[in-house]
Amino acid sequence: MTIREFREADCEALVAILRANLQYGDPRNDGREGMLRVAACPAAVFLVAEEAGVPVGLVRGVYDGAKAFIHIVSVRPDCQRRGIGTALVREAARVLRDRGATNLTVTVPGDNLDFWKRLSFRLTKRVMEAHDIDDVAGGG
Ligand SMILES: CC(C)(COP(=O)(O)OP(=O)(O)OC[C@H]1O[C@@H](n2cnc3c(N)ncnc32)[C@H](O)[C@@H]1OP(=O)(O)O)[C@@H](O)C(=O)NCCC(=O)NCCS
């Protein structure tokens, strides 16, 4: 298993992984166009785990200059419990630290709290989300 940066050719396999894990939500964020926007964003980290040339997991995060966040980690169901998720989060943490981050928050821990606790995360507070942003920003 190797971990590398996202490539455009990964899109289809990554969408399939997100769908299989019931993590595919808004196509604007999770579909091909969303993935390409994340990959083009200098603040973002978008890594893919690959086995035999095939993507088996992904992690997405961001560092805004003060705080670092991991927004999603997803491992293909038939490849779970082999350390891939841990390796993805650890590598994302190294990249974010290299950019200057001193802390790391996961915004969507889901039901797998034990996975995050093993990686030293502690549950502090819940995140609130406005989806769609127009509801907050207003029209125009
Ligand atoms: C959560 C997830 C990313 C973990 O990836 P993974 O490659 O299976 O995780 P690892 O093999 O590195 O697991 C490390 C440890 O975390 C814990 N863990 C992982 N998955 C777990 C689960 N489903 N239930 C309980 N503990 C779990 C275990 O302690 C595990 O160690 P062990 O296998 O020796 O018992 C993966 O299960 C997944 O993609 N789930 C669906 C999507 C999701 O919920 N993502 C997280 C929210 S963004």
Residue type, 62: V
| pLDDT at site 30 | 94
C-alpha 88/C-alpha 7 separation (Å) is 16
73 lines ligand 1 (CB under 6 A): yes
pLDDT at 109: 67
The band of 110, judged by pLDDT with boundaries at 50, 70 and 90, is confident
Q: Which domains does the chain have, with CATH numbers?
A: 2-137 (3.40.630.30)
Backbone angles phi, psi at 101, to 5 degrees: -65, 140
- Token pair listed for 128: 């609130």
- What are the pLDDT digits (tens) for 46-98? 999 999 999 999 999 999 999 999 999 999 999 999 999 999 999 999 999 99
Nearest CA to 74 out of 9, 3, 6, 20 is that of: 20
Residue whose CA lies nearest to ligand 1 atom number 33: 81
Q: What is the value of pTM for the model shown?
A: 0.94
Amino acid at 63: Y
Q: Ligand 1 centre from 115 Cα, in Å?
A: 5
Closest alpha carbon to 3 in 114, 95, 121, 120: 95
Mean predicted lDDT score pLDDT of the chain: 94
Pocket probe for ligand 1: among 107, 112, 114, 119, the residue whose CB has the most ligand atoms within 8 Å is 112
Ligand 1 centroid to Cα of residue 113, in Å, is 9
Tell which atom from ligand 1 comes closest to the C-alpha of 110: 47
Residue 20, pLDDT score: 98
